[in-house]
Amino acid sequence: MVGQRARIEFVHVSAIIAAGGRGSRFGGAQPKQFELLAGVPILKRTVDTFLTGYPFDEVVVALPSELAANPPAYLDDTIVVEGGERRQDSVANAFAAVAPSSQVIVIHDAARPLVSPSLIERTVAAAIEHGAAIAALEARDTVKRGDASRTIRGTLPRGEIFLAQTPQAFRVGVLRDALSLASTAADATDEATLAEQAGHHVHLVEGDARNLKITTPDDLDMAERLLARKGGAAAIRIGNGYDLHRLVAGRPLVLGGVSIPFDKGLDGHSDADVVCHAVTDAILGAASAGDIGRHFPDTDPAWKGADSVDLLKRAVAIVKAAGFGVANVDVIVIAQRPKLSPYVDSMRASLACALGIDMDQVSVKGKTNEGVDSTGAGEAIAVHAVALIHHAS
């Protein structure tokens, strides 16, 4: 392995991430590569592996044309190009953007976010040695040949059948030959097909069954389970939330969805329920899904006077869509006055209902600030919240 790594380090290696498709078979409202996998976009997971798991000299990402002009921030360290109508067109556009000094190019499907750095490395090493190499799995089941009427017409030798994956790696000259056929060839499902048609031999590298391609929602569910099993998705996650609002006259005081009699209320764009805001930030943070300001900005009139319990319920839906459920929350309310103990259980019940969990999974504690700072002077109320979420698979 040391010798292999040393050989690779003297070679200029570029990566192309094929992310130009629409993913129509997935059936989502957006291209599948932007769907969330354990709270993180599929494309980001894939790109992060190529940016941090292997020393590529550059990473080029081919995006759908409508997104290439304004790519997400997590692609800032990549070269973004506009994809084409077909896969080979997208790869050809990306190939045109690689550095002239590139010697080996690795191509990978954006929809294979569980690729390992070790698989990338051994595919690159094989391409350096053989000119072209792809990751592939040897068939484990008996393989039948059928016809249009679904009648078996023969049994194929299992030892000769391999299921192609990506990454696929090529010396630049081999890939150039392959892509020279792209404009006239029928739709090619991978670059190895074009390389074969151009007369090159392609070496098979042992693939990885966990390197699945996300094509349907069921594939996404499987990827969630695989991440949780190896701990990569963080089967449990912890998030922290904090918020503070000033107390002012003429506003109702609402904490944890409970109206509390008092001569002042909290100032804010919504109902200023500081408890719900802190819990919202805690669960969103645990799921790496941003914060309350990102989803419900105070610059948007839609949230003027909003019920913060409703905002918390919306945040729970975001967390669930990311594949997580809330396990428990612990809340500390820091207020010099009013005395909160009579309302603690009502707050717990309200929060439990919004979070979709039992009341015994919610803790609310009231503390004073011993007369110190704005909270101790009775000018503000602050809240700290901790949330534990778990992988829903």
Integer angstrom CA distances of residue 151 from 143, 144, 154, 155, 188: 13, 10, 9, 12, 27
pLDDT of residue 204: 97
Domain ends where: 197, 230, 263? Answer: 230
Instruction: Note whether 240 and 184 are same-domain residues.
Output: no
Domain residue limits at 326: 236-391
> In terms of pTM, does the model score above 0.85?
no
Instruction: Note whether 240 and 221 are same-domain residues.
Output: no
How many angstroms separate the CA atoms of 111 and 81, rounded? 17
pLDDT of residue 236: 80
How many angstroms separate the CA atoms of 270 and 250, rounded? 15
* Residues listed for the chain: 393
Instruction: Note whether 190 and 301 are same-domain residues.
Output: no
Domain ends where: 205, 230, 255? Answer: 230
CA-based nearest residue to 280, from 291, 294, 272: 291
Q: Dihedral sign for Cα 341, 343, 345, 349, please.
A: negative
> Under a CB-based contact definition with an 8 Å cutoff, are residues 235 and 391 in contact?
yes
Counted domains in the chain: 2
Instruction: Note whether 199 and 96 are same-domain residues.
Output: yes
Instruction: Note whether 255 and 275 are same-domain residues.
Output: yes
Integer angstrom CA distances of residue 131 from 161, 200, 203, 204: 21, 8, 8, 11
Instruction: Note whether 185 and 246 are same-domain residues.
Output: no
What is the number of other CB atoms lying within 10 angstroms of the CB of residue 125? Answer: 21
> In the structure encoding, which two tokens stand for residue 96, read together?
């045109």
pLDDT of residue 39: 74
pLDDT of residue 25: 65
Which residue shows structure tokens 């078996």? Answer: 152
Residue ranges of the chain with per-residue pLDDT less than 50:
1-3, 5-6, 233, 393
Instruction: Note whether 61 and 192 are same-domain residues.
Output: yes
Instruction: Note whether 34 and 174 are same-domain residues.
Output: yes
pLDDT of residue 24: 60
